[in-house]
Amino acid sequence: MIIVFGSLNMDMLVRVDAFPDRGETVLSSEAKFLPGGKGGNQAFAAARLGEKVAMVGMIGNDDFGRILTDTLRRNGASTSGVAKSQDSNTGTAIVTRDKSGENQIIVASGANYDAKEQQVPDEILIDGNYLLLQMELPLEETVALLARASKAGVKTVMNLAPAIMVPQKAIECLDYLVVNSIEAKQIAVTLGLSESLPPAKLAQALAQVGNLTCIVTGGIEGSIAVNQNGEAWQVKTVPVSGEELVDTTGAGDCYCGTLTACLHAGKSLPEAMRYASGAAACSVKKEGAQNSYPYLSEIEEIIEDIPEAEKISL
């Protein structure tokens, strides 16, 4: 089982020709409401690959919350671990997308800040299961759950997004750390490392700090992974032309959910990175986050187009 302890948000997607400057008003022809939140997105992506997924988080007692959990259940994820806050509304996010497909996001966390690590029972923190985390829930709850899971022998995966300072003891409880190139630089600075290091060296430094495997994603540049022994792999992504690029929202979440699902299914790390790259490339060709995520069969249709992982020297 993959346990996802994370955020659940309803995304309001607004299209604009160009992002507004400070103080400027920009008109848009429409707004769409789409299921999101890093936790929900990553659980959805993992479930679409056919793995057993349990979503754990917090929603409000409102229509947005019901839509989010119904969507996850329809796509194979269990939501019995999702509780309802009596004090807060379901989290929301305003996603503004320009005509090039890039986006800006503002998150109102709402009920996500009421999530508690005790919502994950000890009975499912067992050897063989995976715990997938992000950084949109209260840090103290995430860190406490991480410590419990690591002690119980659960494989732990953290997408450190957004990039915030995490205690060293928490980093040492991780098996896998996934960050994009920008987040890797931000984390490096907090650890006293040079942000000018290339992605492979950043991954190596973070792997050594936490005695873990670090994966740094770079969008069209592909991804690089370095484990605690200094072994490194690089996977190039599938090129997506300007005409095919529709929306990058949630592509990183698609990568993380797919990567974790593949690892849980027993694939090697390099092969899991290939599948995750393929899934992310598929996701940017459709609008929104969850509805753009591919099924396993769709990834397998393009997997031959993704170069084999290349072992690299550091």
- The pLDDT-based confidence of 98 (bands split at 50, 70, 90) is confident
Full residue range of the structural domain in which residue 218 is found: 2-18+31-312
Inside any domain, residue 35: yes
Looking at per-residue confidence, does 207 or 238 come out higher? 207
- The pLDDT-based confidence of 222 (bands split at 50, 70, 90) is confident
Looking at per-residue confidence, does 205 or 191 come out higher? 205
Spatial CB neighbours of 225, under 8 Å, sequence gap ≥ 6: 203, 213, 214, 215, 216, 232, 233, 234, 269, 270, 273
Q: What is the pLDDT of residues 240-259, one digit of tens each?
A: 766 777 767 789 999 999 99
Mean predicted confidence (pLDDT) in 190-200: 79
Q: What is the pLDDT of residues 69-96, one digit of tens each?
A: 999 999 999 999 999 999 999 999 998 8
Q: Is 47 helix (H, G, I), strand (E, B) or coil?
A: helix
φ, ψ of residue 104 in degrees (nearest 5)? -125, 140
Number of domains the chain is built from: 1
Spatial CB neighbours of 192, under 8 Å, sequence gap ≥ 6: none
* pLDDT computed for residue 241 by the predictor: 66
Mean predicted confidence (pLDDT) in 144-159: 97
* pLDDT computed for residue 30 by the predictor: 84
- The pLDDT-based confidence of 238 (bands split at 50, 70, 90) is confident
Please provide the average confidence, as pLDDT, over all residues in the chain.
92
Give the residue numbers annotated as catalytic, written as ranges: 253
Inside any domain, residue 214: yes
Inside any domain, residue 23: no
Inside any domain, residue 249: yes
* pLDDT computed for residue 97 by the predictor: 82
The fraction of the chain above a pLDDT of 70, given in percent, is 98
Q: What is the pLDDT of residues 269-291, one digit of tens each?
A: 999 999 999 999 888 878 778 98
* pLDDT computed for residue 29 by the predictor: 86
- The pLDDT-based confidence of 22 (bands split at 50, 70, 90) is very high
Cα 132 from Cα 141, distance rounded (Å): 14
pLDDT at 130 > cutoff 90: yes
Closest CA to 97 of 30, 35, 40, 163: 30
Its pTM stands at 0.93
* pLDDT computed for residue 198 by the predictor: 85
CATH code of residue 287? 3.40.1190.20
Are the C-beta atoms of residues 89 and 63 closer than 8 Å to each other? no
Inside any domain, residue 304: yes
Cα 256 from Cα 263, distance rounded (Å): 11
Mean predicted confidence (pLDDT) in 15-26: 92
Mean predicted confidence (pLDDT) in 175-190: 88
Looking at per-residue confidence, does 101 or 273 come out higher? 273
Inside any domain, residue 25: no
Inside any domain, residue 80: yes
The winner for highest mean pLDDT among 42-51, 215-224, 301-310 is 42-51
